[in-house]
């Protein structure tokens, strides 16, 4: 059944409202599930309205694409581990960017054959290609860093910023020429320059900035979709693209504030470099580090008034969230208050830790953000750090020569006793040594986080130690 233009417009409006409600729902873990359902419903209506529109002439290739895409998406969704979710998000962003480039090129070919090209349309196509190509290669690089295929350290070379600026100016120049003349050579030049620029913009960004990069690329993908909407004359794509672009930009700003860094610091430099030779970090490495056993930690925790657990990427790698849920329940049964402290950039993407804890059905009121929970650390008996690193590193406050100096942290070191679950003494993703290792009240428990926490659970079930 073919929809009229007015009916399709109404369907698109309903979809847009559902997408706005989805974004609203995703702002808090308690409403995130409902937000996802709004988003799914909005996308289903949008796809249905588009397929029923008069612009669709044949369903053969569309059906093949839908079946193939749905099959791949379903398999990936069922098999993906939470530890791989950040690189999956980066990969999905790359698909959006590539789609924007292909749609722009396809639109140019079709409209040139129909002799309906005009400067405004070619300007829209230029924008779609530039934003889409940068998103595509930038997301591929981010995927490579997150997957470990590329080094997480910043990659820099002399004249890098000048090269990026020159390519940006050249891309704009070719875009103007393309809009005025419809030159195929300019179209190819725009595409190649933007693809290279996406790579050179992301490779100097260090691993510790990856959460910001993910949200930034999310914003780029939204603007690429909006540009595609202008090229196709599709109002829903424009609305949804603008929503994603704005929300991604706002999220990037919020995360930069959480790290006490500007977006320019993230784009033009990255965590991962070493501090100066006379830094406090260098002096701390000359001191000893205390280690502890599971039984030591249990002895402190079962008599505690409050225990604050700080999860990080190591928890995701070990899949330890379910074991933490059991530990929480056993401690609460003994009258211990258990809270979870979340840093805005913990993990490899925004909200990574919140999703993992929600997966383990840990109550939302037990999960507190950095600003809420930092005042509680001084009155806390035990801080249990599970695979976090940079987000609790006192170097951010005490070592002016440190690359992470000035970044707000979870002040776990102010608890009476700190137990740090680590596989080894390797520093965090930023490559910065952690001064918390050397504090008098800190002990490290070495081993896999899940195995260690399961050992704590077993010790608590077995009685006092």
CB within 8 A of 32, min separation 6: which ones?
Answer: 25, 26, 358
What letters, b where the CB count within 10 A reaches 16 and e where it falls short, cover 83-113? bbbbbbbbbbbbebbbbbbebbbebbeebee
Q: How many CB atoms lie within 10 A of CB 75?
A: 10
| SS3 (DSSP) at 326 | helix
Q: Which string of DSSP letters, residue by residue, matches 239-293?
A: HHHHHHHHHHHHHHHHHHHHTT--HHHHHH--S-----TTSHHHHHTTS---B--
Distance CA 40, CA 26 (A): 13
Active-site annotation holds for 390: yes
**Over 406-426, what HEC string results?**
CCCCCCHHHCCEEEEEECCCC
How far out from the chain centre does Cα 124 lie?
Answer: 28
CB within 8 A of 56, min separation 6: which ones?
Answer: 50, 62
Beta-bridged to residue 340, according to DSSP, are 309, 367
Contact criterion met (CB below 8 Å) for 316 and 310: no
CB within 8 A of 38, min separation 6: which ones?
Answer: 18, 19, 21, 22, 25
Using only C-alpha atoms, the chain has a radius of gyration, in whole angstroms, of 25
**Catalytic annotation, pick one of 296, 381, 390, 399:** 390
Angle separating helix axes 5-25 and 235-258, nearest 10 degrees = 10
Contact criterion met (CB below 8 Å) for 386 and 312: yes
| SS3 (DSSP) at 182 | coil
Angle separating helix axes 235-258 and 210-232, nearest 10 degrees = 160
Beta strands (DSSP E) in 258-400 are: 306-311, 337-342, 367-369, 382-386
Shortest CA distance to 144 belongs to which of 74, 210, 78? Answer: 210
Task: Name the residues annotated as catalytic.
Answer: 390
């Amino acid at each position: 059944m073919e929809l009229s233009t007015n009916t399709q417009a109404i369907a698109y409006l309903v979809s847009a409202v559902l997408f706005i409600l989805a974004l609203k729902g995703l702002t808090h873990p308690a409403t995130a599930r409902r937000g996802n359902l709004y988003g799914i419903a909005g996308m289903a209506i949008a796809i249905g309205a588009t397929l029923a529109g008069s612009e669709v002439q044949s369903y053969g290739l569309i059906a093949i694409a839908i079946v193939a895409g749905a099959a791949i998406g379903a398999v990936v969704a069922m098999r993906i581990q939470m530890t791989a979710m950040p690189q999956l998000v980066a990969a999905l962003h790359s698909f959006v960017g590539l789609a924007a480039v292909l749609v722009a090129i396809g639109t140019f070919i079709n409209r040139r054959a129909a002799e309906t090209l005009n400067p405004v349309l070619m300007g829209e196509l230029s924008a779609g290609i530039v934003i889409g190509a940068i998103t595509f290669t930038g997301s591929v690089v981010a995927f490579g860093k997150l997957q470990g295929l590329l080094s997480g350290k910043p990659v820099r070379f002399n004249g890098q910023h000048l090269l990026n600026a020159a390519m940006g100016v050249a891309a704009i120049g070719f875009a103007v020429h393309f809009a005025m003349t419809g030159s195929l050579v300019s179209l190819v030049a725009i595409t190649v320059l933007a693809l290279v620029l996406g790579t050179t913009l992301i490779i100097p960004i260090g691993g510790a900035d990856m959460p910001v990069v993910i949200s930034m690329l999310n914003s780029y993908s939204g603007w690429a979709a909006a540009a595609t909407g202008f090229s196709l004359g599709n109002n829903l794509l424009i609305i949804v693209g603008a929503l994603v672009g704005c929300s991604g930009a706002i999220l990037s700003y919020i995360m930069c504030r959480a790290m006490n860094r500007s977006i320019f610091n993230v784009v033009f430099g990255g965590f991962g470099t070493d501090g100066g030779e006379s830094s406090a970090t260098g002096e701390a490495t000359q001191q000893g580090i205390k280690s502890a056993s599971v039984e030591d930690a249990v002895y402190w925790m079962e008599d505690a008034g409050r225990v604050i657990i700080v999860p990080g990427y190591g928890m995701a790698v070990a899949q330890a969230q379910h074991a933490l849920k059991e530990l929480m329940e056993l401690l609460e049964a003994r009258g211990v208050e258990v809270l979870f402290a979340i840093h805005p950039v913990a993990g490899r993407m925004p909200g990574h830790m919140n999703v993992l804890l929600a997966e383990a059905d840990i109550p939302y009121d037990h999960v507190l953000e950095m600003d809420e929970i930092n005042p509680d650390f001084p009155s806390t008996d035990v801080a249990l750090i599970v695979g976090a690193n940079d987000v609790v590193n006192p170097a951010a406050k005490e070592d002016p020569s440190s690359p992470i100096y000035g970044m707000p942290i979870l002040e776990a070191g102010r608890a009476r006793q700190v137990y740090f679950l680590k596989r080894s003494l390797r520093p965090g993703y930023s490559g910065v040594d952690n001064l918390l290792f050397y504090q008098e009240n800190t002990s490290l428990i070495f081993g896999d986080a899940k195995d260690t926490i399961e050992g704590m659970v077993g010790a608590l079930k077995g009685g006092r130690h």
